[in-house]
Each structure stands twice: as C-alpha cells, then as structure tokens.
Structure 1
C-alpha cells in the first residue's frame, strides 16, 4: 500500500515546484481565486487586473489599496506560488512589461441574457481561447511527462469522472482504445469503485474533477491509490481533497464562470486540452503499436460507413 498524504489546511499555500511565470500569473489567479477568502480574492484580483500599478506598491501599500492586511497580502502571494511578496512584485513587473508589449490576454464581458447571438459567438470564442491559454500556461510539463510515462507502460487505465467530467473521460477512453490501450471510463460511481479494486501496481487511474472535491471521483481514486496503481488528478483545484490520492496533478483553468456559463461548461475546455496532451504523449511513446492500431480503426470505421460496407446481422 502507498502512504497517504496529509490534506493541507484550508487557505494554506499549495506546494509549488516553481513560482508561476509572469505570463501564467493571471491564469493562476483565475484558478485559485475561488478557493481563497474574500480578502485574499481582493488582493489577487488587484494584482491580476493592474500588475503595473501593484508592482510599484510596497506590501503595506497593496494592503491599503485592497483594504486588507500585510499578512493577507503575503498569504496571497504564497498561495499564488511565490515564496514572498518580493517575488510576486518581480513577477508583476514582468507581467506589466508583457502587457505593454501587447501580449496581455483579452478580457471579455460576461454573456448577458439579451446578447445577440453574434456577440455570444465572439464572447464564447474568446473565453474558450482564454481557457486554453490559461491551462497551457499552468500545465506542469514535468507532471505531464510523468503521467504520460505511466500511461504508456500501463496494463490498464481507469478514468473517473461524473457529469461533464465523465464525458471528457469518455473522450480520452475512446482515443486510448484506438491506439491499443486498455481503458475504462465507467459513468456509474459504484462501478468505478468496483473497477478500482481490480487495479494494482503497473495500472493507472485518472480522476477528472473541476472542483477537486467530488466524492464519487475521489473514492475510486483512493481505492486505486491504496491498491498501488499510479494515480493522476486532472483538476482546477490542485489544493483540493483529490490531491491526497494523486501521484501526479495536472491543473486546468477554472475558466470564466457566469450565470449562463457555469463551471461545468467553463472547465471542460481546459480538461479536453489536458486529455489531448496525454493522448498525444502516449501515442508518441508507443508509436510502433499505436500507428497500426489507428490505421486498423480508421479502416474498420470507413468500411462500416461506406455504401458497400457489409454488416453482420
């Protein structure tokens, strides 16, 4: 059995391999802000919205600007992945320089009930682009490489998710099946746990949960973890409970949430990018097996859908 991790206390900084790059700062704010206290959110929103102005402020000045305390500013900096406020200021200065050079991401308004569909198209397209950019900026290549290596060598891969996350899991399962991997993505939480009991060292279990706290996803991952499988979490909350049982964590963008576009919709784009990265990585590393399997699946489907294709009764 593996040794379980101790959950972090609420509000404590998540472990970071390295501080976020300046280009990833806004993405990081969007990812962790929903789990912050309201006072910490004010600090995070200020630094993301005006990096140049905040970079010029001392810790006392930023605390006064946001109506918080110096301790809150420091805690926010640490939760965003920086050792201290000085490191955050340096990142803010770099982010401000990038904005000045015209590389800042576009910010769009929420979709309103009376928006014409022409505006909906534009706003959704920009939000989807932003979600992809945020996820790409926050995705740790080291964690991704380790996840791909485990999946490539796996005897079997189980994927857990509920609701829209299960649809993303089904997408990954179908891709993996087409390159010869053995993959399962049960929609029923009871079946997910039953499947997880059968896993062992050399197998892989993947949990997809935007909130990081979906019980029906965490439980089969815990069972797989306890049985020695390599576990992977795809989540928008890397400091959530799911991290207790994840050997590797792949962070997705939270996305822009609104009344007409809840988290289940806004998180899907980032999740799909991550599973595509996983699939491509596995296909690259198992190309001798994957290429013939893909060709065979294409041929079988083409034959089935062609006018002359014959089907058994």
Structure 2
C-alpha cells in the first residue's frame, strides 16, 4: 500500500515523491517543513536540527514530529535518507524546473518531458509487486470490474475499461456520480471496484467506492495521497505521482503516472489469462482492420 515504513521511512529512491504524496495529509506546520524538503532537500540534509529550526522558523519538536509523520524514527534518520536521495538524484531530477509564461517552446518540451519522466519513475519506485499481484488475482476472477473517476481521472477510468474490454473482460467506466452510485449499489462479493482520484478526496469517487465496499466488493484506489479517504476505503492502494505546477494542476500532472499503473494492471491480467486475452486481442484487432479496410474502399 503506502511506501512509508515506520522504522526506516521511505527509500531514498522515492523519498521526495513520498513526501509530495503525503503533503496534503500533514498538519500546516508539518507541511511547511515538508515544503523545505521538496524545495531544497540538499539543504535539509546538511542542516542540524538546530540549524533547520532556525531556517524554517519551526520548533525542533515540530521537526521531529514531522520526521515521524514521514515514517522515520527521528530527524537524524530523515537527514540520512535525504543525503542518500540527493546522492541518488541530480538536483534537476529532484526539483524539476517550473514552467514560466515566457519560456520558449524548446524549454517547454524539455521541462514537460522531464516532469513526466520523473512522474513515471516516482510511480514505478512506489509500485508494490505484491499489491499489484493481489489486484490482478482479484481481476481475473471478478464477475465485473467497475472503474470510477471524474475530470482528468475520468479519462484514466475510460482508458482502463477500454483495455479490459479488448481482452474480453467485463470492464465498465463511470465518470458520472449518479451512474457510479447506481452501479455501486449493485456491487457484491466477487466484483472489483477501482477508484481513481489524484487527491483521494473526490466525493464523486469516494461515495460509490464506499457503497461498493459495503456491498462486499473488493476495492482498489489509484491516488497520489496514500493517506486519503479513498485510500482508507480501499483493500489495495497504488500510489501515483505528479508534481503540480502553475500550468499543470495535480490531476493533470498525475494522469501519465495513473495510466502507467493502469497499463501494469492490464499487462498483469493479460499475462494471467494469456490464451483468452490473446484470442480476444486478435479478434478485436481483426475486426478493426476489416472495418478500416472497408472504409478505405468506400472512400475510393
């Protein structure tokens, strides 16, 4: 589920991504400290607790509580992990440059590419094979698979349902709260319900997931926040990553990483059901090829 470990904390490879993911669930004082970590992890790694207290304008006790909230035993362990993270990554990779209104398009291409590559890397670092395997197990035996999402996350829900349909599974996407609640009211044991929400606090996703869970369905959360309401409702949590900027709100910045998670689930299911999924893919590919061939002949 979450990548936090109460003894050792997040691994250096995904420490910054984990801090960003849990940021909304922290207290205001802890959020201020976390933003220092996100903005300049090297500075925090070099600072004693007294030095960091002076720089951040927070008490040493608050810093220790924040370190523990992030999964570490104390500030020393957080410093060591940050030092390892800085050594593991270049500063540009830790803090991708924000887009500015006057950036030339060459910089736009470079910065967007770097941000999306980092989102994918951060998401991959937090993906648990065990959690992914449990979701695949539930999917291959599910009576039906429903995916809920609205806005940018709704596009991810539609993508997942379309992929499931291509391999012959009963997958449905719901981007409307009324229809989602209608489907959730009919959920029962043996069904798999997937909720997609960047914040994990979208009522249009939370309410149907809760209703489906109450009906006995297995629930999955795809979210940036492993401590969100949606995550708490889910049997299995997969954490996506994406850094919000002025031109890329959190939901848009996270879409690419949510699609990565969906692709991993899809491939896992296709592997487990290779004979039927391969036959379904060939049949659907042939149907589309035939249609396109006939369309071209009609145009001529």
TM-score by length of 1: 0.86
Task: Output the CA distance in 2 between the equivalents of 1:108 and 1:15.
Answer: 23
Unaligned runs of 5+ in 1: 1-12
Corresponding residue of 2:54? 64
Corresponding residue of 2:105? 117
Note the alpha carbon deviations across 1:200-224, whole angstroms, 9 max, x for none.
Answer: 1111000001111111101110111
SS of residue matched to 1:249: strand
Task: Output the CA distance in 1 between the equivalents of 2:110 and 2:91.
Answer: 19
Cα RMSD over matched residues?
A: 2.5
Is the deviation greater in 71-80 or in 199-208? 71-80
SS of residue matched to 1:175: helix
Which of 206, 214, 239 is the equivalent residue of 1:251?
239
Aligned residue pairs total 296
SS of residue matched to 2:93: coil
SS of residue matched to 2:230: helix
Note the alpha carbon deviations across 1:255-308, whole angstroms, 9 max, x for none.
Answer: 232232222211111111111111111111111211111111111111111147
Which of 65, 73, 85 is the equivalent residue of 2:75?
85
Which of 23, 28, 32 is the equivalent residue of 2:22?
32
Q: Is the 8 A contact 1:14 1:81 kept in 2?
A: no
**How far is 1:155 from its partner?**
1.4
Q: Is the 8 A contact 1:207 1:233 kept in 2?
A: yes
Higher helix share: 2
**How far is 1:103 from its partner?**
8.9
Unaligned runs of 5+ in 2: none
Counterparts of 1:138-287 in structure 2 under 5 Å? 138-253=126-241, 255-287=242-274
Change (3 A) 1:35 1:256: same
Corresponding residue of 1:289? 276
**How far is 1:104 from its partner?**
7.0
Task: Output the CA distance in 2 between the equivalents of 1:62 and 1:142.
Answer: 37
